[in-house]
Structure 1
C-alpha cells in the first residue's frame, strides 16, 4: 500500500516553503543590508556552480540513505539558511546563506518529485506535481499579500516570518514515510550502477535534447520574471508600489499550473508544448519591442503561465523516462545537464542586459524557439503513444 500521507505532507511543506515574505523586495532587502546588485549576481553565479557540483553526489547519497532522511536534512538546513538570511549583513553573510541554499537545492533535486511519484498512482503523477507546484505559488502569493498589506518597509520582519514558515516545514518533514528500500550491502553495486547511468544518459542524445530544451524555457522564465522584469518595469515608468502589486498578480496566475494535466490530455504532449514554447517566445518578442506598461505586464504574465503549465508536464516526462531503481541519482544526472544549460543561458542574459534590456529579451525569444526545436526532436523519437520507456518502476 502506497504511503499516501506523504503526498499531503509534501503539499504542506511546499505551501510553507513557498512563504518567502521578502519575495517582493528580495533585491532591495539585500541592498539595504549592504551589498550591491553586482555582488548579488556574483553570489547567484557561485550558487549555480555549487548546485552543479553538489548535484551528482547528492543523488548518490539520497539513494543510499533514503529519500526521507535526505528530505529531512534539506528541510532543516533550509530553515537554518533562512536564519542566516534574516540576520545577514554584508557580502560574506549572504554568500554563506547562498552556499547553504545550494546544498539544499541540489539535495532536494529529484528527491521531492521521487517521494511524490513513489507515493501515488502513476496515473495521478502529473496532477499531483501540478498541485505541488501550485501550493508553492500559493504560499508565495500569501506571503506577498502579507508583505504588501502589513509588513511594508520592515524588511527584517519579512525575513523573520520566512524563518518561521520554514521552521514549521522542517518539523513536518519528520512525519514523512520512507518510500525507498535501502540495502547497504548493495553500496558497491549502486556506485557501479551510477557510472552506468551516467554513461547511458550521455549516450542518449534524445534525452539530452529534451533536457536542454526544458532548461532553455525554465531559465528564460527564471531570469526574466525574477530579475529582468524589474528593469523592464522601470523602463516603462512604473513606481515601486505598482511593481509590488504586479508581483502579486503574476504570482496568482502561477496557480494555473494545476490545469497542466487536463490540457495535456486534451491537446496531446506535442501540441501543448508547442503552445507553451510559442507563447513564451512571443512574450519575449513583445517585451523587446515595447515600453508600454500594460503590454509588458501581459507579456510577463504569459511567460509565467507558460512556465507554470510546463513544469508539471516536464516533471512527469522526466520521471517517466527513469529506468533504474535509483531514481534520485538518475534525476540528479538530468539536473546537472539542466543546470549546465541554465548557467550558460544565464550568462547570456546577464551580458546582453548590461548592454540593453531589449537584446536580452530578444535572446529569450530565440532560446525559447531553440528549446522547442530540441523538444520536438526528442518527441520524434518518443512519440506520445510510442515511448520506449519502462513505466513499471
Structure 2
C-alpha cells in the first residue's frame, strides 16, 4: 500500500491517541495524589516553556530526518506519561510527566500535519487538506467523547487509577501503528540536503513570515485562539465545581463541549466556499472575546451556553489556520514553519497563564477567565487594524478559492 496507507493510519492513530479515559478525571486524580491548583498551574508553565524551547528544533528534525521518527518519539512519550502517572505521588513526578508530554507534543505538532499534507500531495489531493484535517480532528473529538463518557463510569466503579491503565494500553496501540507509517519521499532541508545549522532554518522561517504578512496575521490569530481554548479544556472542571454541578455530570459535559467542535472541523471546507478566511477568523475572535467576558461575569448555568459557543467556533480554528499555512509553505520547511505556530501558541499560553493564575488566585476561576476575555478583546482590536494594513499590501487574506 505504501504511502497511500498513511492517511487511514493517521486516522486510527489519532483515535487511539485520544481514547484516553484518564483525562475526564485528571484534575481529581491529580488532587488525590497531592497536586493543588497552584501546582497544576506550575506544571502547565513547565509544559509551555518546554514546548517553546523544543518546538522549532523538533520541527527542523522532522524536515531533515523525516516525519515518522518524530511521530514515533511522540508516541513513546505518550506511553511513558501514563506509566509514570500510575505511580506518581510527588510534584516532581507530575513535573516529569508534563515535561515528557511537552516533548511529545513538540515532536508531533509540525510533523503530523506535514506527513498528512505530503501523503495527500503524493496522490494529487493536497487541495483537500482542510477537509481531511477537519475529519481527522472530528474523529479525534469522537474518540475524546467516548473516553469521557466511559471514563466517568469506569472511574466511579473501579477507581481513578484504572482509567490510567486503559489509557496506557490505548497509547501503546497508537505507538505500534505509528511504527507502520511510511515516510513521504521529498527533499529534506535546505541546500540540496547538506547539513544546515539551526540558525539557517530559523532565519529562513522568520523571513518567510516577514515576507507574508497575511500568513503572519492568520497564524497569530490561531496562536491566541489556541491559547484561550486551552484554559477551557484545562479548567472547565473547576468552573463546573464552582457552579455546584455534581461530578457525575462531568463526563456528559466533557463529551458535549467536544461534540460542539465537530461541526467546525467537518464543515470548514464548506464554510470556505461561502466565506473568506478573514470573515471566519474575525467572527471566531469576536465570539471568543464576548463569551469569555460572559462566563467571567455571569456565574450561573447560562454561562455553560457561552462555553458551548466558544467550543463551537474553536472547532474550525485549527484546520483553518493550518490549511492557510500549509498551502503556502514549501515542503522542505513545512514542519519547521508549522512548528512556529505551535511555539507561538505555547508562548502565548505561558504569558496568559501567568495572568490567569494571578487573577484566579485573587478572584477565583471567574477572575482568570476575565483576564482571558481582556486578552481576546485586545487582540480583536489589533486584528482589525492589522487586517486593514495587510489589505493595503499585495497579500490580503484570501478565500480558499484564491489561494
Aligned position for 1:383: 396
Three-state SS of the structure 2 residue aligned to 1:179 is coil
Say whether the 8 Å CA contact 2:296–2:366 is kept in structure 1. Answer: yes
Count of residues in Structure 1 that have an aligned counterpart in Structure 2: 387
Q: Which residue of 2 aligns with 1:188?
A: 195
Task: Provide the residue aligned with 1:285 in structure 2.
Answer: 293
Q: Distance in 1 between matches of 2:165 and 2:220?
A: 37
Q: Distance in 2 between matches of 1:261 and 1:124?
A: 8
Q: Give the distance between the partners of 1:199 and 1:32, measured in 2 at CA.
A: 44
Tell me how far apart the structure 2 counterparts of residues 198 and 271 of structure 1 sit (CA, whole Å). Answer: 27
CA distance in 2, matches of 1:5, 1:383: 36
Q: Distance in 2 between matches of 1:325 and 1:183?
A: 5
SS at match of 1:212: helix
Instruction: Say yes or no: does 1:125 pair with 2:129.
Output: yes
Instruction: For structure 1, list consecutive stretches of 5 or more residues without a partner in the other structure.
Output: none
- CA-CA distance at 1:242 after TM superposition: 2.8
Which consecutive aligned stretches of 4+ in structure 1 deviate over 6 angstroms post-superposition? none
Displacement after TM superposition at 1:108 (Å): 0.7
Equivalent of residue 141 in structure 1, options 120, 141, 145: 145
Correspondence for 2:81: 81
- Worse-superposed segment, 246-255 or 360-369: 360-369
In the alignment, structure 1 residue 231 sits paired with structure 2 residue 238: yes
- C-alpha change, 1:190 and 1:118, in structure 2 (3 Å) is farther
The 2-side partners of 1:322 and 1:77 are apart by 28
Compare 22-31 and 334-343 and name the one that shifted more. 334-343
Higher alpha-carbon deviation: 28-37 or 181-190: 181-190
TM alignment of 1:62-77, pairs within 5 A: 62-77=62-77
Structure 1 segment 42-57 matched on structure 2, within 5 A:
42-57=42-57
Q: Which residue of the other structure, out of 259, 282, 305, is the alignment partner of 1:252?
A: 259
CA contact (8 A) 1:18 1:135 kept: no
Q: Alpha-carbon deviations, 1:208-231, whole Å to 9, x = none?
A: 44333221111111113421x333
Alignment of 1:18 with 2:18, yes or no, is yes
Q: Secondary structure at the match of 1:17?
A: helix
Q: Distance in 1 between matches of 2:38 and 2:114?
A: 36
Is 1:353 the counterpart of 2:366 in the alignment?
A: no
Equivalent in 162, 170, 173 of residue 178 of structure 2: 173
Contact 1:141-1:251 within 8 A present in 2 as well: yes
Q: Name the Cα RMSD after superposition.
A: 2.5
Residues in 2 aligned to 1:80 and 1:297: alpha-carbon distance in whole angstroms: 35
- Work out the CA distance in 2 between the residues paired with 1:361 and 1:192: 38
Offset of 1:72 from its aligned partner? 1.8
Aligned to 1:368: 376
SS in 1 for 2:193: helix
Alignment check: 8 A CA contact 2:149 2:251 kept: no
Distance 1:37 1:94 in 2: 13
Superposed CA deviations along residues 139-170 of structure 1, whole A, max 9, x for unmatched, are 11111111223332611100000001110000
TM-score by length of 2: 0.88
Residue 334 of structure 1: how far off its partner (Å): 3.3
| 1:158-185 alpha-carbon deviations (Å, 9 max, x no partner) | 0000001110000011221111436697
Please, what TM-score do these two structures have when normalized by structure 1?
0.90
Find 2:304's aligned residue among 278, 281, 297.
Answer: 297
Give the Å deviation of 1:39.
1.5
